[in-house]
């Protein structure tokens, strides 16, 4: 039960930071942004004390580690793949155009309208 209260408190802290942004409408933008950041940081601190927050932070760490392991394509590979996709799109478009013309011809023949 206490963990659910902490989660609600974290949401309220974020909401308070966002509300502070709008309530400080007359202040400089830096002050307004700092109010949002303060709310988010306070919420993260509260979340850190819950098991759900701990598992979420562990997930984020593992996701970041997996992202670093990804082998990203080179510029040449990206350009080649993009060119192949564009070429296939053109080929499929031409094929569908021909099929459409065939259906148009068949419908005209069935309806007895020949041009």
User: Considering the entire predicted model, what is its pTM?
Assistant: 0.54
C-alpha pair distances (Å), 41 with each of 20, 28, 30: 14, 20, 16
Scan for tokens 């996701």, then name that residue: 63
pLDDT tens for each residue of 57-68:
999 999 999 999
Question: What gap in Å lies between CA 4 and CA 91, rounded to an integer?
Answer: 56
pLDDT tens for each residue of 69-80:
999 899 999 999
Taking all residues of the chain, what is their mean pLDDT, rounded to a whole number?
92
> Which pLDDT belongs to residue 107?
93
Question: What gap in Å lies between CA 18 and CA 15, rounded to an integer?
Answer: 5
Do 33 and 21 form a contact (C-beta atoms < 8 A)?
yes
> Which pLDDT belongs to residue 115?
56
> Which pLDDT belongs to residue 114?
66
- Kindly give, in sequence order, each residue whose CB lies less than 8 Å from that of residue 48, ignoring residues fewer than 6 positions away: 54, 57
């Amino acid at each position: 039960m206490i963990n659910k209260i902490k989660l609600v408190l974290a949401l309220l802290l974020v909401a308070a930071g966002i509300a502070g942004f709008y309530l400080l409408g007359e202040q400089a933008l830096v002050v307004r942004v700092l109010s949002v950041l303060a709310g988010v940081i306070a919420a993260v601190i509260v979340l850190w004390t819950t098991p759900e927050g701990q598992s979420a932070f562990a997930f984020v760490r593992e996701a970041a580690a997996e992202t670093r392991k990804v082998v990203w394509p080179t510029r040449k590979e990206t350009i080649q793949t993009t060119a192949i996709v564009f070429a296939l799109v053109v080929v499929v478009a031409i094929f569908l155009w021909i099929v459409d013309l065939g259906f148009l011809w068949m419908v005209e023949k069935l309806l007895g309208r020949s041009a």
